[in-house]
Structure 1
Amino acid sequence: MSTRKYLLVIVGAALLSVILFVPDVNRTTPSSSNEVSGNAEQQPYIRVLAEEQSSNINVNVSMDAEQFERLLAANDRFMAKFPNVRVKLSNIDNTEIAYAVWKEQFQVGEAPDVVLMDSGWVAEFAVGGFLMPIDSLGKAEGISDHSAKLRASLLWNSYLWGVPTDADPSMLVWNKAMLASAGIDVPPNDWESYIALVEHLKQSDAGTSAVSLYPGEVDQLLVWLDAWTAASNADAAYLPAAGDKSRNERLRWLNSIDSQRNIFRLSNRVSLGSELEKHHLLCAVVRWSDYNALPKEEQNKLLIEKSEPRHIWLNSRSYVVASSTQSAEQAFAWINEMTSANEQQQGYQLFGRLPADNSLYDSAGSLSLSSSVKPPSWWLPLMNDEPLNTPPDPNWHERRKNWEELWRQYEIGAIDMESFIERVQQPL
């Protein structure tokens, strides 16, 4: 056979291979033009949904307008990837209104298929029989690399009832200049040391204030109290337990240094470091996203105790699936896309909320606290190590709502601290 004929045979065989095999590839593989990263673990969903008939699912969330716009874009990508699944997104930006609406919808059997809710509410909805356990369709394995503490908050009766997506915990930040003036470069790590430091600073500066809290946020009070409790005993979900004399004494001490309610003086979150210096405030309780958004010059005026934040589930969010859904596979497929590593990382970059996925934390050990790409690695043990603390119980939302109102009344002087202590210990 001549060289020319031999080449023609080879080319013809190649063309035949293309004709025979390309159609099969196209029938099983979706377009990758809009795919989110992490597709290898999502391939089973692609095969399942490709065989399903067209279906509609309803998703309800509660978030601000900017976050919702981003979710709408992610949802458009999902529907382009799975054209036989139509997803209707609804947002209620007020969380308390959202809670009331969703509870009524679940009770009357008109619940959406998927809800993004505060993780502290999940146990209540699970106990009511309103949710489908994540384990029921074998979906729990997909979040095995998610924060152990965020997953622990979703456990009830040995089942997992939600898929964590992010968290925005509060923590203590310290006035670096005031610590330096006392000759120390690390914050106090127990109550006695804290009191001693405050008294020492007051001797040279009578205007020293021990702590500042933003008005109307009882979570900050919980975090401040638990900062002085042994890690094995800290439990923000039970403020303060009946008979817990040490916490009651700390509340009374807080009241004694706050005769003019000056602990609520902070107002500008953008210049937090300068605010603490201006008002001679030793420390403040802030959310991580607020700290992370500070300009570098403001962060440099503050010091974080990196072993202190404990209740990571406070102000965390999780996706849940209604037990009444007729489209469970589609619902879980949608959640899988919305909680992918790529989506969580983008959420951190845009809004500073800590991702649930452990793989997204800076593995290089960077000490940069203002990274716009990945949260610093020191968060990893705080998100995963023992003790996991007690998960929120089914009455958490009502209890916290009651505390919030009582704390607001204390702030405005409508009740005194003794009344606050007595009433937060009363059963609902």
Structure 2
Amino acid sequence: MLKRKNYWLLFAVLLLALTSLSPSMELDTAEGDYPPRQPQRLSEQPDSGDKNNVTSLNIRVSMSSGELKALQRISSNFTLSTGIQVFISNVDNEENAAMLKTELATMESPDIIMTDGRNIADLATRGYLLPVDVYQSVPGSVPLTVLIPQMQWNGYNWGIPLDIDPYVLVYSPQRLAELGFAEPPESLEEWGGLLNQLRGQQEQEEEPGTEKYLLAMDSRNAYGFSALLESMGLSMNGDYTPALDWVQVARSYFYLSSRFNTELWDMLQSGKLALAVLPLSEWQKNGNASLSVKAPAKSGTIYEAMQSRFFALPAGSANPETAVNWLAYITSATAQLEWLENTNRLPALEELYNPAQPEIAGLPFDINLLIAEEDVTAQPDGLSWDAVSDAVTLLLTGKLDAAEYTAATGLDSE
């Protein structure tokens, strides 16, 4: 009996000790704001303590050599004002996509990465990014309304846009007139008529070996294809299966090339090429009075064929506070206008369009197309933008037929 009393006394002492030593401990049964796939909860993000200790940042981008020099010039001013060295590495788009998949999964990424805006939500939901507004000590300017859905998920911002570049139809009015058109086609039927005119002319050519093309596109992303659909009155957000059979027939008359191919401009002027789908920045740089340009989107509609490039913080970023300060500097209104002047890529800030700055006002289409209220994210549900681009490449190069493309992108389930 005495032994049993001792056991109860010992238990009471232990219980009292635990209570007194841990008065603030509570059992957290909340599931948090993020899905289980998130590598770390926000409350578990390490305190980097980088505000006073960071001496350098590592940033990876994917851009032309001219754009890289412009970015380095702007970034050098950040270094002068803060003393923080910024190392920027530049890789090819395809290489960047492959590196992201590996590095983000292993959390061995740079402090800041660049990616297409349409990839942000996919990377965020996979737990590969940090929300930038958690670390944003410097208030940033408001981005274009159409870009906000790309950067937001689960109540947080997961990226900061650098710029936009709408895709446009460039053409020679003289060459189109020879094919019986005053302006680029505006429907699937008109595109079919233009193709028939081109084929008929080639059959009557005295020099049948002279190749002439209907349309030039960059086959490595889906923006050219998106612009083609827009010019037909179709959308990648809807059912565009009627256009796929036409693409199967027409693709032998496509000229697939890099967006930076300067030969395209000579081909347009010589009549070897009827139209080209190119970024507006390329038109601003290389266009001339013998050529014309037209937006594929019509007034009052959304401009879907518009590339946006975003910066984001990888989940493994060691210096998120300092990284966000660099982002705020690089994407400020002053820096954005300098970026426009040196790269011809349009700024991503709403304030620079209302009213439009002189540098922006001379666009070859209605500026209201860029400041719509709707989301411009044009891609099939459930697919990342990289997956969509891969499928478009296979379609344009003849490695997928219309039925296979429809199955690969999920169009057959809509």
Q: 1:102 to 1:422 in 2, by over 3 A?
A: closer
Shift of 1:76: 2.5
Shift of 1:149: 1.8
Conservation of the 8 A alpha-carbon contact between 2:225 and 2:392 = no
C-alpha distance in 2 between matches for 1:188 and 1:389: 22
C-alpha distance in 2 between matches for 1:196 and 1:64: 37
1:211 aligns with 2:199: no
| Residue in structure 1 matched with residue 94 of structure 2 by the alignment | 96
1:177 aligns with 2:169: no
Conservation of the 8 A alpha-carbon contact between 2:63 and 2:90 = yes
After the TM superposition, which residues 21-170 of structure 1 pair with which residues of structure 2 at under 5 Å, given as runs?
A: 52-56=51-55, 57-83=57-83, 86-137=84-135, 142-144=140-142, 146-170=143-167
Q: Which moved more, 1:157-166 or 1:188-197?
A: 188-197
After the TM superposition, which residues 185-196 of structure 1 pair with which residues of structure 2 at under 5 Å, given as runs?
A: 185-196=182-193
One-letter amino acid of the structure 2 residue matched with residue 278 of structure 1: S
1:406 aligns with 2:378: no
Conservation of the 8 A alpha-carbon contact between 2:119 and 2:385 = yes
SS in 2 for 1:91: strand
Shift of 1:356: 0.9
Conservation of the 8 A alpha-carbon contact between 1:176 and 1:301 = yes
Q: Which moved more, 1:146-155 or 1:330-339?
A: 146-155
Conservation of the 8 A alpha-carbon contact between 1:312 and 1:383 = no
C-alpha distance in 2 between matches for 1:123 and 1:212: 30
Shift of 1:197: 5.6
C-alpha distance in 2 between matches for 1:98 and 1:425: 26
Q: Which moved more, 1:198-207 or 1:400-409?
A: 198-207
Q: 2:249 aligns with which of 245, 249, 256?
A: 256
Q: 1:76 to 1:193 in 2, by over 3 A?
A: closer
Q: 1:188 to 1:409 in 2, by over 3 A?
A: closer
Q: 1:210 to 1:60 in 2, by over 3 A?
A: closer
1:337 aligns with 2:329: yes
One-letter amino acid of the structure 2 residue matched with residue 311 of structure 1: E
Shift of 1:170: 1.8
- Spell out, residue by residue over 1:401-424, the C-alpha distance to the aligned partner (whole angstroms, 9 max, x if none): 5315523641xxx56555445545
Q: 1:386 to 1:203 in 2, by over 3 A?
A: farther
C-alpha distance in 2 between matches for 1:204 and 1:67: 41
Q: Which moved more, 1:183-192 or 1:162-171?
A: 183-192
One-letter amino acid of the structure 2 residue matched with residue 62 of structure 1: S
SS in 1 for 2:338: helix
Conservation of the 8 A alpha-carbon contact between 1:62 and 1:98 = yes
Shift of 1:334: 0.8
C-alpha distance in 1 between matches for 2:272 and 2:185: 17
After the TM superposition, which residues 11-22 of structure 1 pair with which residues of structure 2 at under 5 Å, given as runs?
A: none
SS in 2 for 1:142: coil
C-alpha distance in 2 between matches for 1:190 and 1:278: 26
Q: 1:203 to 1:79 in 2, by over 3 A?
A: closer
C-alpha distance in 1 between matches for 2:382 and 2:409: 17
- Spell out, residue by residue over 1:335-382, the C-alpha distance to the aligned partner (whole angstroms, 9 max, x if none): 11111223222222222222112444595798xxxxxx4463546322
Q: 1:152 to 1:87 in 2, by over 3 A?
A: farther
Q: 1:306 to 1:141 in 2, by over 3 A?
A: farther
| Residue in structure 2 matched with residue 46 of structure 1 by the alignment | none
Structure 2 unaligned segments of length 5 or more: list them.
Answer: 1-49, 206-211
C-alpha distance in 1 between matches for 2:228 and 2:296: 15
Shift of 1:162: 0.9
C-alpha distance in 1 between matches for 2:305 and 2:241: 24
SS in 1 for 2:161: strand
C-alpha distance in 1 between matches for 2:385 and 2:185: 32
Conservation of the 8 A alpha-carbon contact between 1:124 and 1:394 = no
Q: Which moved more, 1:331-340 or 1:265-274?
A: 265-274
% identity of equivalent residues:
21
Conservation of the 8 A alpha-carbon contact between 1:218 and 1:407 = no
One-letter amino acid of the structure 1 residue matched with residue 124 of structure 2: A
C-alpha distance in 2 between matches for 1:66 and 1:155: 30
Q: 1:365 to 1:405 in 2, by over 3 A?
A: closer
Shift of 1:142: 2.2
Q: 1:201 to 1:323 in 2, by over 3 A?
A: closer
* TM-score, normalization by structure 2: 0.69
C-alpha distance in 2 between matches for 1:402 and 1:355: 27
| Residue in structure 2 matched with residue 221 of structure 1 by the alignment | 225
Shift of 1:425: 4.2
| Residue in structure 2 matched with residue 302 of structure 1 by the alignment | 292
Give the count of matched residue pairs.
Answer: 349
Q: 1:280 to 1:107 in 2, by over 3 A?
A: closer
Conservation of the 8 A alpha-carbon contact between 1:271 and 1:294 = no
Q: Which moved more, 1:379-388 or 1:199-208?
A: 199-208
One-letter amino acid of the structure 2 residue matched with residue 227 of structure 1: S
- Spell out, residue by residue over 1:191-210, the C-alpha distance to the aligned partner (whole angstroms, 9 max, x if none): 33444565578778867865
Q: 2:362 aligns with which of 376, 383, 388?
A: 376
Structure 1 unaligned segments of length 5 or more: list them.
Answer: 1-50, 367-372
